Copies of this chain bind each other. A is one copy, B any other.
């Protein structure tokens, strides 16, 4: 049958996951509740909400990223279509930005699948080392650790780890990630610990939500940040100046 379990509308009501939108949801659930209700069919616990907020606040809190440049450039050409500029920014959330949360979470799930919940530190380190070795053998990078911007370590990660601990979500997947970071730091002789994407992926994995939903939360957070950037662009535009700056690098343009 061609239906969605998420919800439907009748002439007299709107129903979401079996609940009446007007009497059971509106004013009783917040945005995180409805995200979880529609996506996984239940509302989150207070501890889960702390984590969900952490994920989405991180996705929303940043300066000028490639997505932001794409969105502002799009608004320059199509100021009448805010949704188009948002969409252009969303489109950069692929395998290099935002998408890695999903892939790293899946990797942490895969590495941890062979471990019991009360695995010893040695077992965790052995699993972490096996992953590092496997990636080296395949000449693939190890994701989730190290940061080009923050050479001494991503400043957000210690807070993320602490919040995860405080709310009961520092589990096996965080431990694997941290073991990878420690091993690589030792082997490289310089800090190579968990980065923001890795920490968020560990949280997703330790919360037990699907990696795909983790990516979805990032995209929603990113959407909010694009709105903020585009509202600023409407008031104090910088896209034209960015374009001029790029053109100025080309000596052939003769100006």
The answer on a CB contact under 8 Å between A83 and B91 is yes
Nearest B residue to A149 via CB reads B9
Binds B, one of A48-56, A115-123, A184-192: A48-56
Contact of A78 among B60, B91, B229, B249 (CB under 8 A): B91
The answer on a CB contact under 8 Å between B63 and A9 is yes
A185 CA / B91 CA spacing, docked (Å): 40
Question: For the complex formed by this chain, how many copies does it contain in all?
Answer: 4
Q: How large is the interface on A (under 10, 10 to 19, 20 to 34, 35 or more residues)?
A: 35 or more
The answer on a CB contact under 8 Å between A95 and B78 is yes
Task: Give the residues in chain B near A213, CB-CB below 8 Å.
Answer: 227, 231
Task: Give the residues in chain B near A241, CB-CB below 8 Å.
Answer: 2
Interface residues of A (CB under 8 A from B): 1-16, 21-23, 25-27, 29-35, 38-39, 49-50, 52-54, 56-58, 60-71, 73-74, 76-88, 90-99, 149-152, 155-156, 158-160, 162-163, 210, 212-213, 215-217, 219-221, 223-225, 227-232, 234, 236, 238-239, 241-243, 245-247, 249-255
